[in-house]
Structure 1
Amino acid sequence: MIEIQAEGLVKSFDLEKKILDGLTFQIDQGERVGLLGKNGAGKTTLFKILTGEMDYDAGSVTIGQGRRMGLISQIPVYPEGFTVEDVLRTAFSRLQALAEEMEQLTARMAAGESGSEVLRRYGQLSERFEAFGGYDTDVAVNKVANGLSITRDMRSQLFESLSGGEKTRVNLGRLILEDTDILLLDEPTNHLDLHATEWLEDYISQFHGTVVAISHDRYFLDRVVKRVIEIENGKAEFYSGNYSFYAIEKERRYQERMRQYQKEQAKIEQLQEAADKLHLWAFMGNDALHKRAFSMEKRIERMRTTDKPTKVRKMDARFASTEFFGDEVLELKNVCKSFGEKTLFSNLNLKVEGGERIALIGDNGTGKSTLIKLIMGELYPDDGRIKTGPSVRAAYLPQIIHFENPQRNLVDTMLYAKKNITPQSARNRLAAYDFRGEDVFKSVSVLSGGEQSRLRLCMLMDEEINFLILDEPTNHLDIASREWIEEAVEAFDGTLLFVSHDRYFINRFATRIWELEGGTIRDYPMGFARYRSAKAEEQKTAPRHETPRPEEKAERPVRGNKAQAAARKQLVICEREIARSEEAIAALDREMEAAACDYEALGELLGKKEEAQAELEALYEKWEALSEEAQA
Structure 2
Amino acid sequence: MLQIKDLSISFDGFEVLRKVNLDLAAGETLALTGANGTGKTSLLRAVAGEITPLEGEILLQKDIAPFFVHQECDTFSGTVKEYLFGAKPEISRIYTELCRSSDPIVYAELINAFNDAGGFELEASISSTINKFGIGIDDLDFPYRNLSHGFKRILSVIRGALSGSKLLLLDEPTNHLDIEMTLKLEEIVSSLSESGVGIIVVSHDRTFIDRVAHKTVYLKRGIAISISGGYSEMLAFLEKDFLSRKKKCVEIDKKIRQLELDVARRKSWSDSREASKRLSSDKGHEGHMAAKLAKRALVVRKRKERLVQQLEQEKPFVEKPITIKIPQYEVPNRKMLNAERISFSYGKKNIFRELSLNVDTNERIGLIGPNGSGKTTLMRCLVGILKPVNGRIYRNDSVDWVFIPQDMTRHFKKKTPFEEISDVGLDEQTTRSHLANIGFRGDRALANAELISCGERMRLAILKAILSRVEFIFMDEPTNHLDIESLEMLDKLLNDFPGGFLFISHDRQFIAEHGEKIFTIEDDGLKSLDYTKDIDIDSFTETKRNLTDSYEQSITRRKSGDSWSEFLQ
For 1:11-410, what aligned pairs fall within 5 Å after superposition?
Answer: 11-15=9-13, 17-75=14-72, 78=75, 81-96=77-92, 132-141=121-130, 146-147=134-135, 156-157=142-143, 159=145, 167-207=152-192, 208=195, 209-283=197-271, 284=273, 285=290, 286-287=293-294, 288-311=296-319, 313-314=321-322, 316-318=324-326, 322-326=330-334, 328-389=335-396, 391-403=398-410, 408-410=415-417
The alignment's TM-score, normalised by the length of structure 1, stands at: 0.74
Deviation at 1:353, TM superposition (A): 3.6
Is 2:513 the counterpart of 1:515? no
Deviation at 1:142, TM superposition (A): 5.2
Query: For each residue in 1:219-243, what CA deviation from the matched residue of structure 2 results, as whole angstroms up to 9, or x when unmatched?
Result: 1111010111222332222211211
Query: For each residue in 1:422-458, what CA deviation from the matched residue of structure 2 results, as whole angstroms up to 9, or x when unmatched?
Result: 6666555443432232233332332222233233334
Residue in 2 aligned with 1:117? Answer: none
Aligned partners of 1:461 and 1:531: how far apart in 2? 37
Q: Contact 2:364 / 2:515 at 8 angstroms: preserved in 1?
A: yes
Residue in 2 aligned with 1:434? Answer: 439
Q: Contact 1:511 / 1:526 at 8 angstroms: preserved in 2?
A: no
CA distance 1:26–1:596, change in 2 (3 Å): farther
Query: For each residue in 1:340-381, what CA deviation from the matched residue of structure 2 results, as whole angstroms up to 9, or x when unmatched?
Result: 222111111232344222111100000001100000000000
The residue matched to 2:467 in structure 1 has which SS? coil
Deviation at 1:499, TM superposition (A): 0.7
The residue matched to 1:26 in structure 2 has which SS? strand
Deviation at 1:198, TM superposition (A): 0.6
Is 2:483 the counterpart of 1:483? no
Aligned partners of 2:260 and 2:318: how far apart in 1? 25
Aligned partners of 2:57 and 2:538: how far apart in 1? 49
Aligned partners of 1:459 and 1:43: how far apart in 2? 31
CA distance 1:19–1:83, change in 2 (3 Å): same
Q: Tell me the number of residue pairs that the alignment of Structure 1 and Structure 2 aligns.
A: 539
Which segment is superposed worse, 192-201 or 476-485? 476-485
Q: Which amino acid aligns with 2:379?
A: I
Aligned partners of 1:467 and 1:52: how far apart in 2? 49
Q: Which amino acid aligns with 2:124?
A: Y
Higher relative contact order (CA 8 A, sep 6+): 2
The residue matched to 1:487 in structure 2 has which SS? helix
CA distance 1:96–1:436, change in 2 (3 Å): closer
Q: Which amino acid aligns with 1:191?
A: H
Query: For each residue in 1:491-537, what CA deviation from the matched residue of structure 2 results, as whole angstroms up to 9, or x when unmatched?
Result: 2232221111110111112222211133632123469xx99995478
Q: Which amino acid aligns with 1:260?
A: K
The residue matched to 1:238 in structure 2 has which SS? strand
Q: Contact 2:508 / 2:550 at 8 angstroms: preserved in 1?
A: no
Q: Contact 1:320 / 1:463 at 8 angstroms: preserved in 2?
A: no
Residue in 2 aligned with 1:498? Answer: 503
CA distance 1:586–1:371, change in 2 (3 Å): closer
For 1:527-606, what aligned pairs fall within 5 Å after superposition?
Answer: 535=538, 586-587=551-552, 589-595=554-560
Aligned partners of 2:174 and 2:41: how far apart in 1? 15
Query: For each residue in 1:388-435, what CA deviation from the matched residue of structure 2 results, as whole angstroms up to 9, or x when unmatched?
Result: 2464322221111132788934445556xx375666665554434322
Aligned partners of 2:386 and 2:304: how far apart in 1? 75
CA distance 1:215–1:100, change in 2 (3 Å): closer
Aligned partners of 1:448 and 1:65: how far apart in 2? 40
Aligned partners of 2:17 and 2:106: how far apart in 1? 59
Q: List alignment gaps of at least 5 residues for structure 2.
A: 274-289, 565-569
Q: Which amino acid aligns with 1:362?
A: G
Aligned partners of 1:158 and 1:100: how far apart in 2? 15
The alignment's TM-score, normalised by the length of structure 2, stands at: 0.82
Deviation at 1:11, TM superposition (A): 1.9
Q: Contact 1:102 / 1:125 at 8 angstroms: preserved in 2?
A: no
Deviation at 1:272, TM superposition (A): 2.9
Residue in 1 aligned with 2:278? Answer: none
The residue matched to 2:506 in structure 1 has which SS? coil
Aligned partners of 1:58 and 1:391: how far apart in 2? 62
Aligned partners of 1:272 and 1:322: how far apart in 2? 50
Residue in 2 aligned with 1:554? Answer: none
The residue matched to 2:306 in structure 1 has which SS? helix
Aligned partners of 1:204 and 1:533: how far apart in 2? 30
Query: For each residue in 1:260-303, what CA deviation from the matched residue of structure 2 results, as whole angstroms up to 9, or x when unmatched?
Result: 22222222322332233233323312223333333333344444
Q: Which amino acid aligns with 2:188?
A: Y
Which segment is superposed worse, 48-57 or 268-277? 268-277
Deviation at 1:490, TM superposition (A): 1.3
Is 2:6 the counterpart of 1:8? yes
Aligned partners of 2:176 and 2:459: how far apart in 1? 19
Q: Contact 1:78 / 1:87 at 8 angstroms: preserved in 2?
A: no
Q: Which amino acid aligns with 1:156?
A: F
Residue in 1 aligned with 2:283? Answer: none
Aligned partners of 2:252 and 2:429: how far apart in 1? 40
CA distance 1:150–1:399, change in 2 (3 Å): farther
Aligned partners of 2:89 and 2:199: how far apart in 1? 23
Deviation at 1:213, TM superposition (A): 1.5
Q: Which amino acid aligns with 2:168?
A: L
Q: Contact 1:347 / 1:384 at 8 angstroms: preserved in 2?
A: yes
CA distance 1:523–1:231, change in 2 (3 Å): closer
The residue matched to 1:12 in structure 2 has which SS? strand
CA distance 1:450–1:168, change in 2 (3 Å): farther
Q: Which amino acid aligns with 2:40?
A: K
CA distance 1:261–1:394, change in 2 (3 Å): same
Q: Contact 1:324 / 1:392 at 8 angstroms: preserved in 2?
A: no
The residue matched to 2:204 in structure 1 has which SS? coil
Q: Contact 1:406 / 1:445 at 8 angstroms: preserved in 2?
A: no
Two-structure CA RMSD over aligned residues (Å): 4.0
Query: For each residue in 1:529-557, what CA deviation from the matched residue of structure 2 results, as whole angstroms up to 9, or x when unmatched?
Result: x9999547869xxxxxxxxxxxxxxxxxx
Q: Contact 2:336 / 2:360 at 8 angstroms: preserved in 1?
A: yes
CA distance 1:584–1:346, change in 2 (3 Å): closer
CA distance 1:315–1:519, change in 2 (3 Å): farther
CA distance 1:532–1:394, change in 2 (3 Å): same
Aligned partners of 2:425 and 2:530: how far apart in 1? 42
Aligned partners of 2:165 and 2:471: how far apart in 1? 50
Query: For each residue in 1:131-154, what CA deviation from the matched residue of structure 2 results, as whole angstroms up to 9, or x when unmatched?
Result: x5443433334555x53x66859x
CA distance 1:190–1:123, change in 2 (3 Å): closer
Aligned partners of 1:468 and 1:142: how far apart in 2? 41
Q: Contact 1:333 / 1:347 at 8 angstroms: preserved in 2?
A: yes
- Percent of aligned positions with the same letter in both sequences? 26
